[in-house]
């Protein structure tokens, strides 16, 4: 199963900071993980990776219609944040959303069946890859309109403050989205009203086929809140410990009522923008270098082995468990019936 352990115990800060922005303060670059935390991070990231590999296969077999954007390579971002958050904190993201759903403990069977458009899917087979929600698990989508989730996430932060529930909203968006106007309207309101929102910029270096250098006048996206007085920092988004440490700090900032916070996660997607991306805008060597030198899962695997916290066999057993969950979800997603025709007339605005 997906996320169960939200523990932050055993985390000790060390190292220097890359923190910058309106409110500079020392942020831990890395959090040392306990054995349980390393194992948890390993399993969670592996579940996302294996789930998406399977989704890619099903797409190739023609079983998934419409769009399908894979998150492979970026797993440490959402898992590090999941490990720092408290129950009740919300996540909202764009269309590259399967990893966020699994990290928020949405049922893998329901997610996979939604991809194949079956009635047991989380949106009854009518939403597809980009449109799944779970109020119960505090996951607010899944949005196909670039940047829409930034304004909506700000609204969730407003609701948190208005009701005084003590929760923090995490709004994830890309480097491409970070140039949108509604992002800055949101920043202004969030800081003005000191809303508990973390803006998580997943800088995977490209917006579709356009590199951040070609598209952005300034490329340190952590500083985009400067004119509003919102602090921000760049984080190694390929290292789950760095993500966890930065998230701990940002969450504490928001919970203390100090307003929003920006975390720019420096990350990379291994696959194309979507399944139909010929990827002519970057070299195979560039992708290969990231995979071999910075893979988020491999980093944890090596630490687990080096610390003597797991053997090869232990890790193979985790992989088997994860593959079984994914196989079960794929089986369900292929055998569950399609929605009844009458569903065409439900859940719509007339």
Q: Are 220 and 16 in contact (CB under 8 A)?
A: no
Applying CB under 6 A, does 176 fall inside the site for ligand TPP? yes
SS3 243: helix
Do residues 129 and 98 lie in contact, with contact meaning Cβ atoms separated by under 8 Å? yes
| 230-267 as b/e: b if 16+ CB within 10 A | bbbbbbbbbbbbbbbbbbbbbbebbeeeebbbbbbbbb
Q: Which residues pair with 13 in a beta bridge?
A: 31
Q: Which of 120, 157, 207, 225 binds ligand TPP (CB under 6 A)?
A: 207
Nearest residue (CB) to ligand TPP, 83 versus 201 = 201
The residue within the footprint of ligand TPP, chosen from 49, 96, 100, 118 (CB under 6 A), is 96
Please, which of residues 121-180 interact with Mg ion by CB under 5 A?
A: 174-175
When the beta carbons of 11 and 203 are compared against ligand TPP, the nearer one is 203
- Of 281 and 309, CB closest to ligand TPP: 281
The C-alpha atoms of residue 51 and residue 71 are separated, in whole angstroms, by 10
133 to 162, contacts with ligand TPP by CB under 6 A?
144-146
| 146 interface partner picked from Mg ion, ligand TPP, none, CB below 5 to 8 A per type | ligand TPP
223 neighbors 20 (Cβ within 8 angstroms): yes
Closest approach, Cβ 228 to ligand TPP, in A, equals 20
The residue number whose beta carbon is nearest to ligand TPP equals 174
Three-class SS state of 265: strand
206 binds ligand TPP (CB under 6 A): yes
Handedness of CA 223, 225, 230, 234 (dihedral sign): negative
**Minimum distance from CB of 94 to ligand TPP (Å)?**
6
* Cβ–Cβ under 8 Å, residues 249 and 28: yes
> Contact letters (x/-) for ligand TPP, 227-266, by CB under 6 A?
----------------------------------------
Q: Which is nearer to ligand TPP, 181 or 337 (CB)?
A: 181
What is the contact surface with Mg ion in residues (CB under 5 A)? 174-175, 204, 207
């Amino acid at each position: 199963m997906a996320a169960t352990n939200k523990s932050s115990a055993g985390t000790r800060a060390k190292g220097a900071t890359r923190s910058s922005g309106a409110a500079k303060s020392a942020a831990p670059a890395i959090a040392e993980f306990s054995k349980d935390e390393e194992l948890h991070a390993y399993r969670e990231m592996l579940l996302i990776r294996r789930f998406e590999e399977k989704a890619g296969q099903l797409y190739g077999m023609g079983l998934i219609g419409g769009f399908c954007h894979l998150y492979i390579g970026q797993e440490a971002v959402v898992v590090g944040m999941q490990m720092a958050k408290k129950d009740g904190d919300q996540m909202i993201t764009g269309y590259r959303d399967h990893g966020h759903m699994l990290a928020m403990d949405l049922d893998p069977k329901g997610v996979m069946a939604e991809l194949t458009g079956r009635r047991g899917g989380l949106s009854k087979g009518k939403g597809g890859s980009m449109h799944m929600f779970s109020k119960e698990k505090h996951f607010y989508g899944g949005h196909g309109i670039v940047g829409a989730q930034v304004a909506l996430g700000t609204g969730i932060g407003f609701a948190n403050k208005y009701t005084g529930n003590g929760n923090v909203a995490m709004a994830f968006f890309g480097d491409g989205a970070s140039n949108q106007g509604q992002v800055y309207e949101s920043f202004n309101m969030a800081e003005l009203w000191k809303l508990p929102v973390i803006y998580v910029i997943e800088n995977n270096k490209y917006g579709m086929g356009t590199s951040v250098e070609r598209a952005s006048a300034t490329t340190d996206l952590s500083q985009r809140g400067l004119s509003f007085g919102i602090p921000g920092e760049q984080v190694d988004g390929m290292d789950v410990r760095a993500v966890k440490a930065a998230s701990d700090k940002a969450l504490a900032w928001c919970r203390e009522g100090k307003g929003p916070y920006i975390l720019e996660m420096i990350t990379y997607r291994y696959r194309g923008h979507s399944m139909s991306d010929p990827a002519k805008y970057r070299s195979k060597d560039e992708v290969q270098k990231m995979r071999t030198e910075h893979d988020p899962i491999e980093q944890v695997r090596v630490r687990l082995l080096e610390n003597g916290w797991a053997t090869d066999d232990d890790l193979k057993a985790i992989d088997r468990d994860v593959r079984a969950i994914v196989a079960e979800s794929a089986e369900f997603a292929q055998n569950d019936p399609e929605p009844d025709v009458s569903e065409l007339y439900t859940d719509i605005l007339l």
